[in-house]
Amino acid sequence: MPQSSTLSVGWDVHQASIAGASVAKAHDADAFSLGPIGTRQADMAQLVRTRPSTATHLVCVYEAGPWGSWRSRDLTKQGHHGWVVAPSLMPQKAGNRVNTDRRDAIPLARVRRAGDLPPVDVPAGEDAARRDLSRAREDAIADLKAATWRLNAFVLRHDSR
């Protein structure tokens, strides 16, 4: 069997670990679990370094979530593709209620190979920093308003002028 040029790697990302699964571009290729890895950049770099021995193009896909889009930017910087997909667009089988990390990572790799899910736009590092600054400013303004309301209520309760 000839070697496929593209390898799709699905990641089920959590705070403490990442479960990986990969599937080659060939239609008859089976998906297999890569097991859990750490969430540090060095752990992912080690996994990415070993994958090109099985394919020349590497596409890693994971669901959007609170764990950041820096993974996609880091993979792009290394010359690979990092796709972030919307979790709500993932196809679900009826009655499939058992969720394990391995069982979540394999469909990500298969759906990526089939080309059924488009990636979401990942903001550049500068855009993400601007968004964080804007959110921090909004939070500070909301905290100031809440403190002002509490102070006014305190003054009214104690009939101070």
CB atoms within 10 A of CB 107: 18
The continuous run of DSSP H or E covering 37 comes out as: strand 32-37
The string of pLDDT tens digits covering residues 70-83 is: 777 777 787 777 77
Q: Are 15 and 33 in contact (CB under 8 A)?
A: no
Alpha helices by DSSP H, 15-98: 41-50, 70-77
Is the Cβ–Cβ distance between 69 and 61 less than 8 Å? no
Question: Ranked by mean pLDDT, which of 122-126, 139-143, 157-161 comes out on top?
Answer: 139-143
The CA distance from 72 to 44, in Å, is 11
Task: Give me the pLDDT at residue 66, please.
Answer: 73
The answer, yes or no, to whether residue 31 has pLDDT greater than 50, is yes
b/e 151-160 (16+ beta carbons within 10 angstroms → b): eeeeeeeeee
Q: What is the mean pLDDT of the chain?
A: 78
**Strands 6-13 and 18-24, how do they pair?**
antiparallel
CB 9 within 8 A of CB 54: no
CA dihedral 133, 43, 39, 72 (to 10 degrees): 50
Average pLDDT over residues 87-93: 73
More confident residue, 24 or 102: 24
Mean pLDDT, residues 108-136: 83
